[in-house]
Structure 1
């Protein structure tokens, strides 16, 4: 039994090592960064965000303030036994993660679902993949990117489900392990967030569940790489609403590259790989 456990542990460690190497080589983590640059340089994409800015900003402040007032000190006290001098920092990161998750759930469920869909579709239109977008909404004439977006015929972004909360609560105790636990928590969150960012793309492609699963498994490391970068950006207090939109832009840029066949075997574009190589 001991040998079997050791064998499984070694196998899992090797798998994680290989996935980490593949994720780093894929450079998919650059898509969220590319999304920021693309969003900032294309004013036509700002409309969905600006239309929801006031209520979401208010919600973000309220959620973050509430969480720090009522949960920071109790969690820091618990972490004092596991993290020692790092308790204050670990507790702050945990509260930020909790606030971000709660904010994301509430905002995407009640405030910005359609705005994120518009942003994703707008980027695809700007990248000349209008035929794909027409599978999920009406397309109008004109030169304005967002003005071309007509009535949504298929709504992709899934609203909050109890499963998502249960999974989050299962991973939450990892944060009580100093440093390593927090890193593992972010990676696990990223592993879920990566494929979720392409929910709209999968729907526009009209893929069934088995087709989606096959695609995600093929590019598992790249999706995790993208998801980790996206999760880290959305942990930034108050700015998480902005990064929710820029991450959506990054996901749409990635989808456009996939649709045009401008990706390598691991799922990302040669251009991003070259950028990553130069940054090393």
Structure 2
């Protein structure tokens, strides 16, 4: 039995190393940072954020303040039993995570969903991917990438499903494990966040459900490495709304680079993805 345990542990460790190496090689973890710089240097992309800044900032401040006022003390008391002095830090991270989740649900469903779509599409337009954007929205004549975009056919951002909410609360107890538990919690959140950031890209590429699954499966490590820093940025109180938009820009830049590497913006989906998925399965 002990030999079996060692064998399984060795296999899991090897798999973790492979995923970590793939994540580093992908460079996807840099795109949230690239999104910040690109957003800051392209003023045309500021319009969707500025139009929604006041209501979303008010919502973010309100949710964060309420969560700290109501939930910090009782959660700190519980975490102190298992984390000791580290409970101060882990509780702050936990409350920020909870606040971020609540804010994300409310804002993306009721306030900024259209603005994020415009930001994503506008970023693609600045990268000369007008043909890709035109697959799902009208394109007007203008030098301003945001002003060029007309009506969209569909809204791609998925609303928070009951399964996603249940999964989030199932992960919360991980924060009771000092340091390691909190790191695991953030990684799991990042793993979920990564593919969600490309929901608009999948729609513009007109991917079917199976094609999306293959695409994500072939890039599991990359999507997680993108999601972790993106989640951490959105955890930051008050300015989290700003990073929601810069993460969207970063996701669009990553999508644009994918299109550039493929060499064909109109037909890059099924054959390549199946091949990549097969290679991924062989390597497991």
TM over 0.5: yes
* Matching residue of 1:183: 183
The corresponding residue for 2:133 is 133
Secondary structure at the aligned position of 1:82 is classed as helix
User: What's the counterpart of residue 278 of structure 1?
Assistant: none
Structure 1 counterpart of 2:171: 171
Alpha-carbon distance in structure 2 between the residues aligned to 1:98 and 1:2: 40
Q: C-alpha separation between the residues in 2 aligned to 1:262 and 1:89?
A: 44
Distance 1:10 1:113 in 2: 44
Equivalent residue, structure 2, for 1:51: 51
> Partner of 1:275 in structure 2?
none
**Residue 158 (structure 2) aligns with:** 158
Q: How many pairs align?
A: 264
Aligned position for 2:97: 97
Matches of 2:3 and 2:111, distance apart in 1: 52
TM-superposed deviation, 1:6: 4.7
Shift of 1:251: 0.2
1:79-98 aligned at under 5 Å gives the runs: 79-98=79-98
- TM-score relative to the length of structure 2: 0.90
Which residue pairs with 1:201 in the alignment?
Answer: 201
Could you list the structure 1 runs, at least 4 aligned residues long, displaced by more than 4 angstroms after superposition.
1-6
Following superposition, the deviation at residue 9 of structure 1 comes to 3.6
Q: Which residue of 2 aligns with 1:232?
A: 232
**Offset at 1:216?**
0.9
CA distance in 2, matches of 1:5, 1:120: 46
Q: Deviations over 1:187-231 (max 9, x none)?
A: 011111111100100010001111111111111111110000100
What is the root-mean-square deviation in Å for CA atoms of aligned residues? 1.6
Shift of 1:3: 5.1
Residue segments in structure 2 that go unaligned for 5+ positions in a row: 264-272, 274-284
SS at match of 1:46: helix
User: Structure 2 CA distance, aligned partners of 1:224 and 1:123?
Assistant: 22
Query: 1:21 deviation in Å?
Result: 2.1
Correspondence 1:1-280 to 2 at 5 A: 4-261=4-261
Instruction: Tell me the TM-score normalised to structure 1 length.
Output: 0.91
Residue by residue, what CA displacement relative to the aligned partner does 1:229-266 show, whole Å, maximum 9, x if unpaired?
10011010011100000000000001011112179xxx
